[in-house]
Amino acid sequence: MARSAYYKWLHHKPSKREIRDQKILKQIKEIAKSNNSLFGSPKMTMALNAQRKEGEPVVYRRTVSRIMCVNGIRTSKGRFNKKISL
């Protein structure tokens, strides 16, 4: 590893995007915990935008999808009930 790369990593300050992603990740984890991880990225985006305060920017579905994918947050699939007619 190059010495310059190590020192760049050592003194790295989080970017605006990284800070915003961490804030959104906290909210995503809270919402996922409250609904037993049933929401995918579209519903998660609607829930996040419903909770946002006045003046905060809108969160887009691709952003939520990327954050969920990077952090391993997946939806839990419901059980399929096979309908039987008698």
pLDDT of residue 24: 96
15 alpha carbon, distance to own chain's centre: 17
Q: Are 75 and 40 in contact (CB under 8 A)?
A: yes
Indicate whether 44 belongs to any domain. Answer: yes
pLDDT in tens, the chain (86 residues): 899 999 999 999 999 999 999 999 999 999 999 988 889 999 999 999 999 988 989 999 999 999 999 999 988 876 777 888 77
Indicate whether 13 belongs to any domain. Answer: no
Indicate whether 67 belongs to any domain. Answer: yes
Count of domains observed in the chain: 1
Phi-psi region of 3 (alpha: psi -120 to 50; beta: other; left: phi over 0): alpha
Q: What is the domain range of residue 53?
A: 38-73
Considering the entire predicted model, what is its pTM? 0.77
